[in-house]
Structure formats: structure tokens, C-alpha cells
Chains A and B, each alone.
Chain A
Amino acid sequence: MIEAIDLTKRYGAKTAVDGLSFTVRPGVVTGFLGPNGAGKSTTMRMIVGLDAPTTGAVTVDGTRYRELPAPLHRVGALLEARSIHPGRSAFNHLLALAQTHGITRARVDEVIELVGLQPVARKRAGTFSLGMGQRLGIASALLGDPDTLVLDEPVNGLDPEGIHWIRTLLRRLASEGRTIFVSSHLMSEMALTADHLIVVGRGRVLADCSTADFIAQAAPAVVRVRSPHAARLSEALRAEGVTIGSDEPGVLEIAGLTTDVIGERAAAAGVTLHELSTRHASLEDAFMELTRDSVEYEAVA
């Protein structure tokens, strides 16, 4: 379990993380979402003791990371930027980390096999593709068989097969009762992987809920109606106090009513319907909706 209490990090006048409080629970995959510059990486660096919080605290199972006697056995971390010397082989990189904890060479070989790097384990890491680098980073994180994993953008640079592999791996690790905390800016990916979401923007928590609730709240379902008498139906529904949008003639997008109710109202008004369907907002839409005001670097349209 990871607990952040009023976690704040300032770099000079700039506040990267602004009073974050959250709990990451074991047994599920928790997604950590936010646009670039939202403070995700800084928060993760504070979890593993690389950066010290300006104020507040973050603990893993009740202990600050720097006070853990054997941190690799408690927390495995993959940090966004590469954390590997390009002149060293994958095996030697992992061996050097393993030796600090007295972890055996057999375990080093085991994690190399687990991430599928056996063919290149003795090659210099500088020759690795981004995807292979990520796999090596994940191997480092798994080295001590930790109960908690902190992964910053783990699917970055992975091909579809690699993305599927890590999704399956994370789900399996979570089902074993481990705490899995994964950051991403790929909303669609999180929809498939994460059970719970913590959404941040400009260093603040914007949402902390289950993935399903997040989608429902941030961008509610919309009912799409196609009808030759769209104007009449619109008139009939206006009284219900719903939001009605229209992209094209003859099509209504209605938020706030179910298809059942709309169908009944249409029948009562004698309106012919050609289409009546529910459109669920994607996580991408929900995320855009929520973080619209907190995007750090916004493109000017």
C-alpha cells in the first residue's frame, strides 16, 4: 500500500506537486493519469526516495522508502527516463542491482527470462531498442519480487505484443495481491489495464475513483437519436430539462435520459425514430473533459 499525505514538491517558484493525498491499495491495478507536467513522474520519484518532498510525506506500507532496509524486496520501480548505463550489459546491470541485496544470479536469470531478454542479456544496453529498454527496466523492478510496483509509463515504446504482455503481467501481479501503481498519459490503455484511477492535473488530484465511475462521472453516456422529426422530438424533450446537442440535421445527442424514456416520449408524440442508441464516452473523452483546465502545454488551435 502506498500512502501520500499532503505531498508537495516545489522547484524554486514552480510547484510540481501541490498537496497530493491518495492511497494506492493492494490487489488492483491503479492508474495514475495526467497530462504532461501534471506531476506524475515527480510523485513517483518521491515514492522511491529520489526526490525529497518539500512538505508532506509518502510511505510504502507505512514506512518512508529511504528507511526501508531492503527496498528492492518491498518496492520495484520503473522510472520514466532510462535508468541504465548504455555501456553495461543487461545481465551486469541487473547483477549489480541484485548484489546490493544479496539476490542470487539465478534470480537475475529468472527475471531476464520473465521479460524475454535472454537472447540479448549479454549485449550492451546501449544497443537496445526503446521496447527492450523498457523490458529491462521492468526486469529491474521485479528483481526483488516486491509487493509493490511503481511503474512510470511502462508501455512507452512497446509494440502491441509488448503492450499486451505488460497488461497481462500487471493484472496477474495485482491478482496475487500486490500493489500496482502505473502512470500513463494513454487513457485508452488505462481503460483496459487499470481498475482504479487517480487523475492529476497541475500537481493536484482531480479524481480518485474506480475506472468505471470515472468514465460515468466525467463524461456521462449520451443517447443518439436519428429522426425525420428531430425538431418535434427536441421540442417534446425540452420540457424534461435535458441537454440536447445536434451535430447534423436530423440527429440529436441527448444527455440525461435513457433510451427507454426517449423511446416512450417519441411514441407519445408520434415521432418516427430511425435510430436510438447509447454512446459511451471513451476514457480519452472523459480525461480530456476533466483536465481541460489543467493542461500545462496547450496547443493553440
Chain B
Amino acid sequence: MTAVTYPRVIASEITKLHSLRSSRLSMLIALGLVVGLGVLVPWMSVTSWRNGSPTVGYDAVGRTLSGIYLAQIAFGVLGAMVITGEYATGSIRSTFAAVPRRLPVLWSKLGVFLVSTLVLGTLASVIAFFCGQAIFATKDVDAALGDPHVLRAVLGCGLFLAAMGALGLALGALLRNTAAAITTLSMVLFVVPIIVDLTPKGEEIGPYLPSAAGLTITQLDPGGPLSAWGGFGVLCAYVAATIALAAFLLVRRDA
């Protein structure tokens, strides 16, 4: 007798993610942004230099990974739409009729999306790193993967992007509406940091906000109160809390 099992729901979610042109396109755009800026920023830097430009302490790593600032939006929005797209089109009814316990759908979506974004985000970051360093190598300011913290920062970009995708997915599951989820994500990423910065406690609270905390893992020297992995842990805690609330509500609300 066939029954609904986790491997089966995961297979179904893989089919769903890869059978939509919009999700394939968003992922390609994210990849293109990371690699494209990884080439553009070093190229602009190098071509603007004259002889005797400063080279000591130059952050050649961060300048090759600047695409993650844009890609985080692409992944976050795609993560939200993985769920809100189902609510908007009504296909969530088919999904929950097939898997009426619902939670396997949420965990499978999350797992499939995390693996996809982690693989793609890491691949994009590694390509961007090597392309960018090849450009910096013409001026002898390039960094190598073996240099202190470089490998962690490059792979950290993949982790950061996957976590941002998961945050979008969690908000999508919680709010069940594309516009609401994307607006909330944008406010959390871009508006809240500005407002917090204007408060007297801004400098103390700012580093603990999701984006700032998560970015530490992509930086050679985070500098703030949080370590690279500690900051990433803070971002993961935000994601986990949002997902937990979404899961709690998912089985209780009418679909």
C-alpha cells in the first residue's frame, strides 16, 4: 500500500520548484548577479587605479562578493514565493489535499529550497571569487582561498544566501501573501536597520539585526560584537523562530 512519506513529499517539492519557469529564472538571475558583480566591481577598481595605488590591507575578497547584497533579495523573494505562489494560485489546496498533515510539506519545501540555494549560492560565490581574484591578480592584490578566513568568507556567502532564502520562505509561510511577505522582508532587511540606527541604542542593537548579523560570516574581519559564526547563528535563530511560528499556525489555520 502506498502512503505519503517524507521522501515522496520531497520528490514532489523538487518537481514543483524546478517545473516553474519563474523559479528557474530567479535562481539564474541570482547566480548572474553574484558572478556579474564579482567581475564588475574588481574590474572597475582595477581600471580606476593609477600606478602606485594603495595595496596594503586591501579587501580583495569582499569586493568580489558584493553581489550577495542583491542576490539576498532574489533568494528571499523566491523563498517567499515558493509558498505564497501556492496560496495565490490556489494550488495549496491540491497540495494539502494530498498531504493533509501539512507539516511534511513545509519541511520538504524548506529542505529542498535550502539545498538548492546553498548549492547555487556557494557555486556563484566561488565562481565570483575566482573571477574577481583573477582580475585583482593583474595588480598583485589578489587573495587566495588559503589565506586566513578567506575560505570561510567565500563559503559563508552560500550559507548567508541560503539563510536569506529560508527567511523569505518562513515569512511566506507565515503571511501566505506574496506582497505582504516581500514587503516584510524588505522592511526587515533595509528599513528596520535605518530606523534602529537613528535610535540612541542604534550602535548596540544594529549588529544583532538579521542582515547585519548574517553578513558577519561573509566578512574576513567582522569587527563588531559578533563573531563570524556567532553572527550567522543569530540570523539562523531569526529564521528558526519565524519558521516555528509558521509551522505552529500552518496546522491550525484553514487552507
* Chain A residues within CB distance 8 Å of chain B: 45, 48-52, 65-66, 68-73, 77, 79, 81-89, 92-93, 95-97, 99-103, 140
Contacts and interface: CB of A to CB of B under 8 A. Distances in A.
B15 A69 contact: no
Contacts, number: 108
B94 A71 contact: no
Nearest to A92: B19
Interface stretch (B2-10, B67-75, B235-243): B2-10
A102 B255 CA distance: 24
Of the candidates A84, A86, A92, A99, the one having the most CB atoms from chain B within 10 angstroms of its own CB is A99
A83 B91 contact: yes
Interface string B81-102: 0000110011111111111110
Given A84-B90, A103-B2, A71 B98 contact: yes
Given A87-B85, A101-B98, A103-B2, 6 more contacts: A48-B97, A52-B254, A70-B4, A71-B4, A71-B100, A88-B16
Interface size range on B against A = 20 to 34
Contacts of B2: 70, 73, 101-103
A65 B11 contact: no
Contacts of A100: 4, 8-9, 12, 98-99
Contact of B20 (A77, A83, A88, A103): A88
Interface string B14-33: 01100111100000000000
A87 B89 CA distance: 9
A48 B100 CA distance: 8
A55 to B, nearest CB: 15
26 contacts: A49-B100, A50-B93, A52-B252, A66-B100, A70-B2, A71-B97, A71-B98, A73-B1, A73-B2, A81-B90, A82-B89, A83-B92, A83-B94, A84-B90, A85-B89, A87-B22, A87-B85, A88-B16, A88-B20, A93-B94, A96-B15, A99-B9, A100-B9, A100-B99, A101-B8, A103-B2
B97 A50 contact: yes
Contacts of A103: 2
Given A49-B100, A70-B1, A82-B89, A99 B8 contact: yes
Contacts of B85: 85, 87
Closest 8 pairs between A and B when the two form their complex, measured CB to CB: A92-B19, A99-B12, A83-B93, A69-B3, A51-B254, A49-B100, A85-B91, A83-B94
User: In terms of DSSP, what is the predominant structure of the interface of chain B?
Assistant: helix
A193 to B, nearest CB: 23
Contacts of B9: 99-100
A84 B19 CA distance: 13
Nearest to A95: B15
Contact of A96 (B3, B19, B252): B19
User: In terms of DSSP, what is the predominant structure of the interface of chain A?
Assistant: loop
A101 B1 CA distance: 10
Nearest to A102: B2
Contact of B89 (A45, A69, A73, A84): A84
B239 to A, nearest CB: 25
A77 B8 contact: no
Contacts of B4: 69-71, 100-101
Contact of B8 (A66, A73, A81, A102): A102
A70 B19 contact: no
A50 B86 contact: no
A88 B18 CA distance: 10
B19 A66 contact: no
A216 to B, nearest CB: 37
B12 A96 contact: yes
A92 B22 CA distance: 15
Contacts of A86: 89
Contact of A49 (B3, B15, B96): B96
Nearest to B11: A99
Nearest to B16: A96
A92 B11 CA distance: 12
A103 B9 CA distance: 12
B255 A50 contact: yes
Interface string B21-55: 11000000000000000000000000000000000
A69 B94 CA distance: 16
A42 to B, nearest CB: 9
B20 to A, nearest CB: 5
Contacts of A48: 97, 100
A86 B17 CA distance: 14
A180 B3 CA distance: 23
A66 B96 CA distance: 9
